[in-house]
Amino acid sequence: MLPAPQLIVLSIVSFAPVADEKTSAIVDANKSAINSIMNYQCNVALTVDCGKSPRRLTSKYWRDSIQVRISQNSIAGNLIEVQIVGGKLTAMTGKVATGGSSTVDPEGGWIIAPDDRRIVDTDPWELSLFVLPVGLYRTPPYPMYTLADLAVKGKLEAFDETLEGHKVVRITASLPAENRTYTVWCDEAKNWMIRKAVHVIKDGKGDLAWDNQYVVEQFDEVQPSIFVPSKITSISKYKGSVACKSVADLSEIRINQPSFRLPPMPPAKAGTTVMDEIKGTVHVIGNNGTAKDRPKRLSDAYSPPLEPETPPPPVARTQWIGGILALVTAGGLAAIAVVRRLRRR
């Protein structure tokens, strides 16, 4: 079983408010520490407990200044391959073949979406708090910010504290238009990397809905004076009750490799269904690798909302482990009907 919730009830001692100049310097130092990572590679082992039997996900992750690649093994040997480049996310579901290679499962298919689409839970960039974690699936997705992004969006409140013996600065930023608040604890000894983060989401009435807490239990010095998280625990609560707990272990972390290449995406085989959330279309790949027929309309193409919305309560990310059902959410039952018609041709 995973650690009990009290694992991340940490000892905190507050001191005095931090001047705006120091807060800005901390934000800049955090940004510089993250920007110093030119490329990044690791393995992820994530154990999730949502009240039933704990589930384990593993993934391999590659990232450089241009693109991101994730290969996640999920429940029952399912595989999710993800590429993010040029503001577009491409994801494929498949099966793990003999020898560990991947094969495309046409029934799972492909999805093309904006790069903020939530597909997998084993993204170490988010788990490591290099970006502020969202922790939830939602349509449209919550924007993802860095600490520097929050400094641009509004005033930050900062206080000197100690957290389990570590000298930290607690920084809070409210996002009233999104009914959200972030509080982070930046560690001076780790180049002001975030050691703890709390993401609070309120409902349309202003009452507490989600309380998601993340704690870096261990940092590794992967290169001289460059620290990255290697173990992270989290707890998600809904209306005060624990919904899910997780433990993420990051291994074989490598950064700033002189010869760094990201693996390509597996090719799409004939018969694979492709749902394009950006264009709002669905098509089936033909024998020549292109659309078999003219793409069919799913729904209106994706576009960000112009005004803040009050959506129904989001679903915990860990309740959508595997991400396969996400392939049909864009078009719902209508999409399924379209795909069936296409396949009968």
Helix, strand, or coil (residue 258): coil
Q: What percent of the chain has pLDDT over 90?
A: 52
Distances from the Cα of 310 to the Cα of 41, 153, 178, 301, 313, angstroms: 37, 20, 9, 21, 9
In sequence order, the 6+-apart residues with CB closer than 8 A to the CB of 119 are 80, 82, 89, 91, 111, 113, 323, 326
Of residues 66 and 16, more confidence is placed in 66
Peptide bond into 295 cis (omega under 30): no
Distances from the Cα of 57 to the Cα of 91, 96, 120, angstroms: 17, 13, 10
Of residues 38 and 7, more confidence is placed in 38
User: Looking at residue 299, what is its pLDDT?
Assistant: 59
In sequence order, the 6+-apart residues with CB closer than 8 A to the CB of 235 are 5, 7, 8, 212, 213, 242, 244, 245
In sequence order, the 6+-apart residues with CB closer than 8 A to the CB of 113 are 88, 89, 91, 119, 276, 277, 278, 302, 330
Question: Alpha-carbon distance 87 to 103, whole Å?
Answer: 26
Where along the chain do its domains lie? 5-68+121-255
Helical H segments across the chain, by residue range: 20-35, 124-127, 147-153, 326-329, 332-343
Residue 7 pLDDT > 60 = no
User: Looking at residue 326, what is its pLDDT?
Assistant: 39
Return the CATH fold of 5-68+121-255.
outer membrane lipoprotein receptor (LolB), chain A (2.50.20)
Per-residue pLDDT band for 250 (boundaries 50, 70, 90) equals: very high
User: Looking at residue 119, what is its pLDDT?
Assistant: 86
Torsions phi, psi for 194 (to 5 deg): -80, 125
Nearest to 216, CA basis, from 206, 231, 205: 231
Model confidence pLDDT, tens digit, residues 96-135 = 665 555 554 545 689 999 998 888 999 999 999 999 998 8
Torsions phi, psi for 343 (to 5 deg): -70, -25
- Say what the pTM is: 0.80
Average pLDDT of the chain, as a whole number: 81
Please compute the mean of the pLDDT values over residues 41-57 and round it to a whole number.
92
Burial state string for 265-297 with b = 16 or more CB within 10 A and e = fewer than 16? beebeebbbbbbbbebbbbbbeeeeebbeebbe
Instruction: Give the least confident one: 4-18, 37-51, 61-75.
Output: 4-18
Model confidence pLDDT, tens digit, residues 198-232 = 999 998 888 999 999 999 999 999 999 999 999 99
Per-residue pLDDT band for 171 (boundaries 50, 70, 90) equals: very high
Per-residue pLDDT band for 17 (boundaries 50, 70, 90) equals: low
Token code pair at residue 179: 């009914």
Model confidence pLDDT, tens digit, residues 128-149 = 999 999 888 777 788 899 999 9
User: Looking at residue 101, what is its pLDDT?
Assistant: 54
Token code pair at residue 71: 């290969």
Model confidence pLDDT, tens digit, residues 287-327 = 877 777 788 887 544 444 443 334 444 444 433 333 333 33
Token code pair at residue 133: 């974690």
